[in-house]
Structure 1
Amino acid sequence: MVFLYKTTHEGQTRRGLFCGGSIVEPLHVVTAAHCVERLLETEIKVYAGKLDSNIDLIEPYQQSADVQLITIYESFVSETFHGDIAILTLDRPLNFTKGVKPLCVPRSGNTDKDLKPRPAKEPSFKYGMVFGWGVTVTQNFRESRVLREVKLPIRKQSFCTAAHPGMTKLMFCAGGLLKQDSCQGDSGGPFALWSARSQKWWLAGIVSWGDGCGDPTKPGVYTRVGTAVRQWIYNNTNIE
């Protein structure tokens, strides 16, 4: 898990933390396309190994890197958030430690159902984990200073499209129970699934958009890391 930090102050974009991201290998981070589509590489710095969003507070596993290249998914549509995913190529590799680790990305042909962001058969729910420094209702809609996590259920696509008519096949929704949700500032961060088979965490989605936060009738929407997106990630990174 990383956060993206804007290093310059131009126009209406404020300086500071603005989105999250997932490390997929030492030189590449996956995030949401809408986070970076209007930015130059020189405007973004990536911080890894952080729990606190204060970059002046040096932590034991803290690392940082500049962005050398922004690659946006070719099917991304900014008006609808369709294909809301991008890859950041870093100017130096991150060192994997106890506090800096990658999320696994399934290969396009992987058929392990544990790794797919699909709901379980009723009445059960299939849960994933979301991480970020985004806005929290408990803090009067201010961004969290510390990294937080929330366990969210994947909902049926029919429920999702009824709640969000603008959803496409490259999206899924999760949440709607206990008013738990991702929110502003969490965009670009991972929706991760645990595989009992491999004993690893896998990237299944990207925090993308929503209609408010914590509304049980309108769960947050995530970019689906499905077959085509998985292949695109492999084609644009050095994952072995």
Structure 2
Amino acid sequence: MVGWQVLREENKLKTTKDSRSLNSLIHPSDSLHGCLTCRRISQRYFRVVAGVSVLSAPGQHSQTRFVHSLKTHKSFDEATMNNDVALVRLSSPLHFNDHVQPICSVENVTHEFTLNLSHCFITGWGSTSYNGEKAASLQEAEVEIIDTQICNLIDWYDGLITENMICAGLQSGSADSCQGDSGGPLQCYSEDEQRFYLVGVTSFGDECGRPQRPGVYARTSRFTAWLRKTQAGSLSAAHRPATLTLSCTV
């Protein structure tokens, strides 16, 4: 189980099909998400579940919180999916333990390049094939970061990938995020620091698992300043953490 992977779903009072989406914990009260799925329904109908792997059996380690506030990036463009990030503030802090933990955050683009990141993974409860059934237990796949110049080739994404995005997958298309994985983490391991870092937030793709159509993720290193400002400036004193941080605990 990935301790920073959390599920955002609709409350039982208002349930619709395919209402699930994913978040990544970066603070006891904050999780990072994508903008598009945040716009589909009022935040008052959402709750966040952490510490769960099998959805039908949350278990004793699961923790549930309601959504206190939701801040989408003001420059999010639904047509191009640029700036596809949102900050979800929980109604009360989660309790970190062996089953619920934050993921480390990349401080900036320079930091990203110095981390010696390797072994990147995507995780989620989304479909295991295009238009297929959603997974009942948390799925994991290892992927490779694909150079933006390659991803922007005419027979790939033809210039659609901006500096705020990162492509990840396999050129063969055999490993990819899919429907229901939106907002989830692209996480990479730092051999130097021996910990995982949140490198991307699942944003979009062209179907699932197509050759030359890898998953596209919001590049978290491009949004550090926005996250800090949003944490510090848009929250009431009652819900503001004593220490604002985008880094995991050791």
TMscore range, shorter length: 0.7 to 0.9
Name stretches of at least 5 consecutive residues in structure 1 with no aligned partner.
118-125
Alignment of 1:60-79 (within 5 A): 60-79=60-79
Name the count of aligned residue pairs.
226
Amino acid of the structure 1 residue aligned with 2:226: W
* Aligned counterparts of 1:131 and 1:94: Cα–Cα separation in 2: 21
Mean CA deviation greater in 172-181 or 85-94? 172-181
Q: Deviations over 1:124-165 (max 9, x none)?
A: xx541111000002x971110000111100111122112113
Q: Is the 8 A contact 2:115 2:192 kept in 1?
A: no
Q: Deviations over 1:181-221 (max 9, x none)?
A: 11010110010111122221111100000001011221111
1:144 paired with 2:135, answer yes
Name stretches of at least 5 consecutive residues in structure 2 with no aligned partner.
232-243
* Aligned counterparts of 1:116 and 1:38: Cα–Cα separation in 2: 37
Following superposition, the deviation at residue 109 of structure 1 comes to: 7.4
What is the aligned partner in structure 1 of residue 150 from structure 2?
Answer: 159
* Aligned counterparts of 1:108 and 1:231: Cα–Cα separation in 2: 9
Relative distance call for 1:74 and 1:116 in structure 2 (3 A) is: farther
State TM-score, norm by structure 1.
0.86
Q: Identity, % of aligned pairs?
A: 28
State TM-score, norm by structure 2.
0.83
Alignment of 1:162-173 (within 5 A): 162=153, 163-165=156-158, 166-173=160-167
What is the aligned partner in structure 2 of residue 122 from structure 1?
Answer: none
Mean CA deviation greater in 102-111 or 169-178? 102-111
Aligned alpha-carbon RMSD (Å): 2.3
SS at match of 1:135: coil
Relative distance call for 1:97 and 1:16 in structure 2 (3 A) is: farther
* Aligned counterparts of 1:116 and 1:204: Cα–Cα separation in 2: 12
